[in-house]
Structure 1
Amino acid sequence: MSPATMAGCGALALWAFLALFSRLAAGIPPLQLTAMGFAVGGTVGLAVVAATGRLGLLRQPPLAWLHGVGGLFGYHALYFLALALAPAVEANLLNYLWPLLIVLLSAPLRGLRLGPARLSGVALGFAGCALLVGTGASFPPGAAPGLLAAVGAAVVWSVYSVTAGTPRLVRVPTEAVAGFCLGTAVLATAAHLAFETTVLPNAGEALAVLGLGLGPVGASFFLWDIGMKRGDPRLLGTLAYAVPVASTLLLILAGHGEFSAKVVLATLMVTGGGFVAAKAR
């Protein structure tokens, strides 16, 4: 596995903490939480870029900003809309189409061969994810707008991820992600002020926001940018199905869930899918 693909795996590991930190900050409205998290992540990233004397790298063409801010904000806005308009189980299941779409889009957009082993691996991973997050899904007709938003979120994130490595965008330096995070924070703040009531976080929630900004909605996007531009998106897409499994295990360890045969079976299926994909040549 190349160093760039390992960086992408680092992003997946950080995203496993998203549910736990979000649970600890549950008293904060979602758009406000998004704005605060991205503000922390963007500010820390900007400080690192400034310390290395590379602030000039934030001067990028409009296409790069449209891709970066549009991908980060567009995904989160559609995902929160999906959770507001559709049952969480169904919305989460459809949202987790994004790893599968990353694998499938790698062929037409990046010219990367798939092959039966990779397709089998991602199918097994999706089946494990469906078993874990989709049990009892019924897709009620009245939730159609929310379900469409969940599919839209999956499409936006997969397209954002795969196109990051295309010729027109691969030259955009990872340092520019700091600016994209701050741009996302600005848009999330505007959406929050328009649709939510501001809540002052307590000490525990403030620490959870800090954790989010440093990891799942901070460093993760820098690592994911490296993985998508210089790593193997087919393997990363398959391994992404470990995120809901690891997230569930972390919630259990933190006392917010219980072990079950379903969790064990889903873990084995996702692990098996990742192994099959990793062995593909």
Structure 2
Amino acid sequence: MKNQKQALMFGAGTVLLWSTVATAFKLSLRDLTPLQLMLIACATSVAVMAGVLVAQKRLPMLFELTRRQYLVSVVMGLLNPLLYYLVLFEAFDRLPAQEAQPLNYTWALTLAYLSVPLLGQRLSRADIVAGLICYSGVVVIATHGDVLALEFSDPIGVFMALASTVVWAVYWIATARDTRDPLVGLFLNFLFSLPFIVVICMVVDGLPTGSNTALMASVYIGVFEMGIAFVLWMFAMKKAENTSQVSNLIFISPFLSLIFIHFILGEEILESTYVGLVLIVVGLWWQQRGRKRDLAAEAV
């Protein structure tokens, strides 16, 4: 049954979890490589999602799929978590959290742009204006406010952060055509990607060894960022009477994240980060506002 109050509670819980993960990424990457972090987090996430499937009595659904759907699970797993999190963790390994985190939030805009060639959709005026605003914010953050010089703090790190938005957008476009149950599909994606991650990690970096803080932060990422947050957001969307109210909670996350980054990681938040983040959030808000207006016009 729909329940807007519960939907907002689930949504707020998700946003709170999302706000902590940038800090957890950096804590893990102090002692672990991106591959080692991904191995621990992915294995933990598989265990968490298996527990959720058992609790919801949905485990039998794992054995009711077609051969093609199992193949889809392998391909999707190579996209997410393997490729997406590898690129994302590489970005966080290179950049301060206050830079990598806001850049990753532009994925919604990347999704709109990739929907043109991949889904045959057309860009609206709001998408174009939002892009100009958002990517102005990206430039401000990446150059530490020295926009005219166009000297990026870490060009490869910035590229990785923006590349992660492309991978994530492609994944969501593919998910839109996925006929599997969302939780079952996500579990199988992670399960089938895990052997690839183990082999690559052993060959490239070896099995994870690090401080207790790094290992605990990696497990935290697997439990919450890759596992419970998805389940909470799914419940929020199912319960929502007004999905836009729940979706708007996302805009709180990057600002809340800066608080954790400052007080836990000890990063001094630059003025350019605040300016760039505001531009990115305003751009995403403008895009969402334009889509609502277009939907309202189509309904008339």
1:160 lines up with 2:163 in the alignment: no
1:262 lines up with 2:272 in the alignment: yes
The 1:105/1:238 distance shift into structure 2, 3 A limit, reads: farther
1:209-243 deviations in Å (ceiling 9; x for gaps): 22211222323455678999xx9xxxx99997876
> Distance in 1 between the 2:120 and 2:36 partners?
39
The 1:211/1:218 distance shift into structure 2, 3 A limit, reads: same
1:83-107 deviations in Å (ceiling 9; x for gaps): 78xx648x95986664332121234
The 1:68/1:56 distance shift into structure 2, 3 A limit, reads: farther
Q: Any conservation in 2 of the 1:37–1:213 contact (CA below 8 Å)?
A: yes
Residue in 2 aligned with 1:218?
Answer: 227
Which residue identity lines up with residue 20 of structure 2 in the other structure? F
Which residue identity lines up with residue 101 of structure 1 in the other structure? T
The 1:222/1:17 distance shift into structure 2, 3 A limit, reads: same
Which residue identity lines up with residue 267 of structure 2 in the other structure? G
Which residue identity lines up with residue 25 of structure 2 in the other structure? S
Deviation at 1:194, TM superposition (A): 0.6
Moved more, 190-199 or 7-16: 7-16
Which residue identity lines up with residue 53 of structure 1 in the other structure? K
Q: Any conservation in 2 of the 1:37–1:209 contact (CA below 8 Å)?
A: yes
The 1:270/1:78 distance shift into structure 2, 3 A limit, reads: closer
Superposed, 1:161-180 pairs within 5 Å as 161-166=172-177, 169-180=178-189
> Distance in 2 between the 1:259 and 1:226 partners?
34
Which residue identity lines up with residue 163 of structure 1 in the other structure? A
Equivalent residue in structure 2 for 1:37, among 32, 41, 45:
41
Deviation at 1:45, TM superposition (A): 0.6
| SS of structure 1 residue aligned to 2:169 | helix
> Distance in 1 between the 2:125 and 2:12 partners?
22
The 1:148/1:274 distance shift into structure 2, 3 A limit, reads: closer
1:102 lines up with 2:128 in the alignment: no
Equivalent residue in structure 2 for 1:24, among 23, 27, 31:
27
1:204 lines up with 2:217 in the alignment: no
Residue in 1 aligned with 2:124?
Answer: 115
- Pair member with larger Rg: 2
> Distance in 2 between the 1:270 and 1:147 partners?
15
Deviation at 1:67, TM superposition (A): 1.9
* TM-score (normalised: structure 2): 0.69
The 1:242/1:52 distance shift into structure 2, 3 A limit, reads: closer
Q: Any conservation in 1 of the 2:17–2:224 contact (CA below 8 Å)?
A: yes
The 1:177/1:227 distance shift into structure 2, 3 A limit, reads: farther
* TM-score (normalised: structure 1): 0.73
> Distance in 2 between the 1:220 and 1:83 partners?
20
Listed as ranges, the gaps of 5+ residues in structure 2 are: 241-245, 294-300
Deviation at 1:252, TM superposition (A): 1.1
The 1:80/1:10 distance shift into structure 2, 3 A limit, reads: same
Residue in 2 aligned with 1:53?
Answer: 57
> Distance in 2 between the 1:194 and 1:180 partners?
22
Q: Any conservation in 2 of the 1:78–1:153 contact (CA below 8 Å)?
A: yes
Deviation at 1:37, TM superposition (A): 0.7
Q: Any conservation in 1 of the 2:80–2:189 contact (CA below 8 Å)?
A: no
**How many percent identity over aligned positions?**
22
Equivalent residue in structure 2 for 1:275, among 279, 285, 288:
285
Which residue identity lines up with residue 132 of structure 2 in the other structure? A
> Distance in 1 between the 2:268 and 2:139 partners?
18
